[in-house]
Amino acid sequence: MLNELKKRLTGKTDSSGDAFVDALREAISPERVKFDGAHRALHGHDASVFDGGNSGPVVYPETTAEVQAVVRLANDHGRNVVPRGAGTGLAGGAIPLGAPVVVAVTRMNKILEVDVDNMIAWVEPGVVNLDLSNTLRPHGFHFAPDPSSQQACTIGGNVANNSGGPHCLAYGVTNAHVVALEVVLPSGEVAMLGGLDAEPQGLDLRGVFVGSEGTLGITTRIAVRLTKNRPEVRTLLLSFDSVTDAANTVSGVIAGGIVPAAMEVMDQRITEAVENYVGAGYPLDAAAVLLAEVDGLDAGVDIDADRIAQIGRDNNATAVRLAETDHERALLWKGRKTAFGAIAQIAPDYYLHDTVVPRSALAGVLEEVYAIAKRHDVLVMNVFHAGDGNLHPLLIFDAREEGVLDRVHAAGGEIITASLDAGGVLSGEHGIGVEKQKYMDRMFSGDDLDHQNRLRQGFDPFCRTNPGKVIPSGHSCADIQSLRNVPDKVWG
Amino acid sequence: MVASPLLVSDDPVLAAFADEVGDTGPVSVAGSRTRWSLGGELADDTRIVTAPTGIVKYQPEEMTVQVRAGTTVAELHETLMAAGQRTGLPERGGTVGGALMAGENDLRALGRGRLREALLQVRYVSAEGRIINSGGPTVKNVSGFDLPRLIVGSLGTLGLVAEVILRTNPIPAVSRWYRSNDASPADVVEAVLAPSAVLFDGTSTWVELEGHAPDVDAELTRLQAIGSFEAVSGIPELPPHRWSFTPAEALAIDPAITGSYVSVVGLGLVFASQTQPNRTVTGAVQEVHERVKANFDPTGRLNPGRNPANK
Ligand SMILES: Cc1cc2nc3c(=O)[nH]c(=O)nc-3n(C[C@H](O)[C@H](O)[C@H](O)COP(=O)(O)OP(=O)(O)OC[C@H]3O[C@@H](n4cnc5c(N)ncnc54)[C@H](O)[C@@H]3O)c2cc1C
């Protein structure tokens, strides 16, 4: 990777000599249009394992008008556009293909208005997820979606990926928490999708923009729903001798008609890593732990916590612990939320998968996941949003090892197949990006994909925004192979 | 590569529906005709078909139900009730497909979730007479573009819905309605954590509390600190016409404009005796609408005369 970086660094210098770049600099400001090798190399990647990205100029707009100016200039110059937030995406959604202009919205990071009468806040897309909730909490509210990456990822990225998090089990993923979106369309026009009123007229274009992975335009202002903080919370840590028992507890809870605020499972390898990293107080001898949280009013949380504990015991829980203090609860959650950081301490590389299976199939599919990893001789850890059946098998490897990536990809493919065969879906929250395009035809027919493409082209008839993503080539408006190569006379 | 068997329909009933819809000539689906004129009058020469009926697969332990579009919401909810569950679809007569196409929320959407959040997977027949599948059977899913969102509220102008998978929710232990003649609706919303519905007709405020009995009792105690509340059997009579306001606007309705009204506080939905002035979409949003419609239904054969922008 370092060599790659060096090559790119020495490739081109900051002097543009390119009419498009010059026009961008004039329209925005020279300092906020970057064209040096370092910037472009940095923006050729996101947090996924995929490379092959090739960034054109990187611009940092500060207003909707500036985003609009960039999109219009790109159209005038026949260049594509890729929106980008914090670059924490795991499916390659923000990877630029075909040397487009990368529109990094990170400087649009203001919380514009908290409107309690309408139970919303207007925010710019570059606001960091955790900053939003930290700002709202003292006023009695928070933004419900809480991805594990929340210290870094942006609300715009959350919208584009319809992101989830542990507490989306009861409260729903991002789509349920976005009321209206100001969007710069691929045409360069500004549109308001959705609205603050109960039932905005027309098609739910807001609803389809959420989760469209940056292919339908760039959102520049977002009305997010405020969620009232819950007065009472109970957090339980249940320990098990097997991952199967933990998974069966999760399906038992759902079958019992309880929808907890969160239900997260971690297996032994991950709890060990977390314990060594932050000392969250997890048991080291358990094959799996289940972190379950219920919130709401006084009586209900006790009733539900008792029932979850009982269902756990019925499924052979070896210990059930109720967090006694806020500090203890915070520590338990810190363990869960730093799980990926903990991995980074012990393994040079990891590939985080993301599929969903019916909750009743969790135990069986997990067993298969371990068997698949063993067959391919890769290390797997599981830490996942068990409550909604969202698996996150984490394949750990050292990329310097000869041939290891092939084994990692082979194992990943089998995990996807196992999930689909169990009645599951390709992705629960990371999206398709470039990662899972080749699996889309396992879930959708040619006709199905054609209809998805009809929607995409309704927004972007000329395929200018984030081309080469989500819909596999053949069905989509952009051929990914040609995008991998940089067009003639465009930035190499 | 073979598509996962669970994601492709081999249901002959759906295939027969697709054949009936065919690929030429104006066509519409009749449900129970409870919202027949929504978004415009259907063109005269339109052929009317009916959607298939029946609950295909109910999995209470997954909190999902697979149901054909012509099934009535009443029948669906009766089946779910036996397992202590319900959906976010409004119970006001009509079919599952009709409710989804109309896109109207239940007035208890704060408690039951918005209609659009109930739809996990949809199979519809396209203008070309093909069965299109989108979304997925699990409660969480971001695989591809979210066509279920596009379909909800589209009045059958993009495709004719054949079958859906809906999210179900547990029915809370108790549900109780209370009415007050002296508490302000804004105070009610502030006093309780998560009411399922708060209604206001300019004089009285109704509130539905749901949950475990001791919590509902505790919420009632909090309510009684701001006014006097009595238990009632349900909601007031609703005036016939729906208006869509912001939650803030819905707290300050001018009856000179709407006539007598019942406002759904927190949601912004208002039932009024007068009709809401025509709404439409304009500018760039209208352009996207028109392109999407043209892409999905190039010859304009699906529900001609209706337009979701004019709801
Ligand atoms: C350690 C780790 C843990 C994670 N945990 C979770 C988790 O629990 N749940 C979860 O859902 N995800 C998780 N993710 C994935 C990722 O953080 C989320 O997808 C996040 O929402 C991406 O936000 P971002 O700002 O980094 O977006 P980017 O990665 O910059 O972009 C993601 C996509 O959004 C588009 N985009 C960005 N901004 C805009 C905009 N303004 N308008 C239109 N399109 C835009 C991009 O084009 C791209 O397609 C995790 C990632 C990491 C690295």
pLDDT digits (tens, 9 = 90+) for A316-357: 999 999 999 999 999 999 999 888 888 877 778 899 999 999
Structure tokens of A43?
A: 């923006």
Q: Is A345 exposed, middle or buried (0-12, 13-18, 19+ CB in 10 A)?
A: exposed
Q: Quick one: DSSP state of residue A80? A: -
pLDDT at residue A173 in the model: 97
Plot region of A7 (φ>0 → left; ψ -120 to 50 → alpha; else → beta): alpha
User: Shortest Cα distance from B190 to chain A (angstroms)?
Assistant: 10
Whether A474 shows a pLDDT value over 80: the answer reads: no
Q: Which tokens sit at B37?
A: 């004129």
Q: Give per-residue pLDDT as tens, A43-88.
A: 999 998 888 899 999 999 999 999 999 999 999 999 999 999 999 9
- Domain A232-336: CATH architecture, name and number where available: 2-Layer Sandwich (3.30)
B241-244 sheet: strands from edge to edge: B230-232, B174-180, B205-211, B197-200, B261-264, B269-272, B241-244
- CATH number for region B6-170: 3.30.465.10
Residue A5 has pLDDT above 80, yes or no: no
Note the pLDDT tens digit of each residue in B257-272.
999 999 999 999 999 9
Give the helix/strand (H/E) hosting B263. strand B261-264
CA-nearest residue of chain B to A141?
B193
In this structure, are residues B60 and B1 in contact, taking their beta carbons and an 8 Å threshold? no
pLDDT at residue number A341: 83
The DSSP letter of residue A356 is E
* Pairwise CA distance, residues B98 & B87, whole Å: 15
**Cα–Cα distance measured from residue A452 to residue B46, given in angstroms and rounded to the nearest whole number:** 27
Beta partners for B307? none
> For chain A, which residues make up each domain, given as ranges?
2-106, 111-228, 232-336, 347-421
| Mean per-residue pLDDT, B47-74 | 97
- A2 pLDDT band, cuts 50/70/90, is very low
B298 and chain A: CB distance < 8 Å anywhere?
A: no
The residue-averaged pLDDT of B133-162 equals 97
| CA dist., res. B209 & res. B88, Å (int) | 16
Position A488 scores a pLDDT of: 47
Contact B145 A452 (CB under 8 A): yes
Determine contact, residues A81/A125, Cβ cutoff 8 Å. Answer: no
Tokens of A87: 């670059």
Average pLDDT, chain B: 95
Q: Six-digit token pair at A39?
A: 């910037």
Q: What is the mean pLDDT of residues B276-280?
A: 91
CA distance B8 to B14: 11
Average pLDDT of the residues in A164-175: 95
Give the single-character DSSP code of A213: T
pLDDT in tens, A393-409: 999 998 899 999 999 99
State whether residue B115 is helix, strand or coil: helix
Q: CA–CA separation, A243 vs A39, rounded Å?
A: 44
- Residue A11: pLDDT over 50: no
Q: Which fold has domain A347-421?
A: Alpha-Beta Plaits (3.30.70)
Q: Which amino acid residue places its CA nearest to atom 16 of ligand 1? A: A89
Class of domain A111-228 as given by CATH: alpha beta
Minimum mean pLDDT range among A12-26, A115-129, A474-488, B72-86: A474-488
Q: Which residue has the tokens 């109910």?
A: B58
Q: For residue A335, give how far its alpha carbon lies from the nearest alpha carbon of chain B (Å).
A: 24
Q: A422: CA distance to ligand 1 center in Å? A: 27
CA distance linking residue A310 with residue A322, whole number of Å: 13
| HSE-up (13 A, CA, CB side) for residue B19 | 6
Q: What confidence score (pLDDT) does residue A1 get?
A: 44
Instruction: Identify the three-state secondary structure at position B80.
Output: helix
Smallest CA-to-CA distance from A197 within B37, B266, B283, B274 is with: B266
CB contacts of B250 in chain A (<8 Å) are: 198
CA distance to A56, A105, B268, per residue, from A31 (Å) = 16, 15, 45
How far is C-alpha A251 from the geometric centre of its chain's CA atoms?
24
Instruction: Pick from A161, A355, A435 the residue to mutate for probing ligand 1's pocket: most ligand atoms within 8 Å of its CB.
Output: A161
Cβ of A26: how many Cβ atoms within 10 Å?
Answer: 12
Pocket of ligand 1 (CB under 6 A): A 46-47, 82-90, 93-94, 105, 125, 147-149, 153-154, 156-158, 160-161, 163-165, 213-214, 218-219, 340, 429-430, 466
Mean pLDDT value across residues A439-465 = 96
Confidence band for B2, pLDDT divided at 50, 70 and 90: very low
Given a cut of 50, is residue B298 above it in pLDDT? Answer: yes
For chain B, the structural domain boundaries read: 6-170, 174-272
Above 80 in pLDDT, residue A220? yes
Residue A219 CA, closest ligand 1 atom number: 42
Residues of A within 8 A of B114 (CB-CB) are: 176
* Residues within 8 A of B (CB atoms), A 229-248 only: 230-231
- What percentage of chain A carries pLDDT values higher than 90? 87
The secondary element (H helix, E strand) that includes residue B219 is: helix B213-224
Residue with tokens 């939003």: A132
Across the range A276-283, mean pLDDT stands at 92
A10: Cβ contacts below 8 Å, ≥ 6 apart: A37
Q: Within the 47-106 window of chain B, which residues sit less than 8 Å (CB to CB) from chain A? A: 59-63, 84-85, 103-105
Read off the DSSP letter of residue B172. P
Angstrom distance (rounded) from CA A68 to CA A62 = 11
CB under 8 Å to A51, separation ≥6 — which residues?
Answer: A4, A44, A45, A95
Identical fold, A232-336 and A347-421: yes
Looking at residue B4, its pLDDT comes to 54
Burial of A392 (0-12, 13-18, 19+ CB in 10 A): buried
CATH C-level class of A2-106 = alpha beta
pLDDT at residue number B109: 95
Residue A345's pLDDT is what? 79
Per-residue pLDDT reduced to its tens digit, A373-430: 999 999 999 999 999 999 999 999 988 999 999 999 999 999 999 999 999 999 999 9
Which ipTM was obtained for this model? 0.96
Give residue A441's pLDDT.
93
Query: Which token pair is A357?
Result: 């299976």
- Nearest CA to B64 among A175, A363, A312, A357? A357
In tens, the pLDDT along A105-158 reads: 999 999 999 999 999 999 999 999 999 999 999 999 999 999 999 999 999 999
Q: Measured between alpha carbons, how far is A120 from A218 in angstroms, rounded to an integer? A: 20
- Other CB atoms within 10 A of residue A117 CB: 14
pLDDT over 70 (residue A223): yes
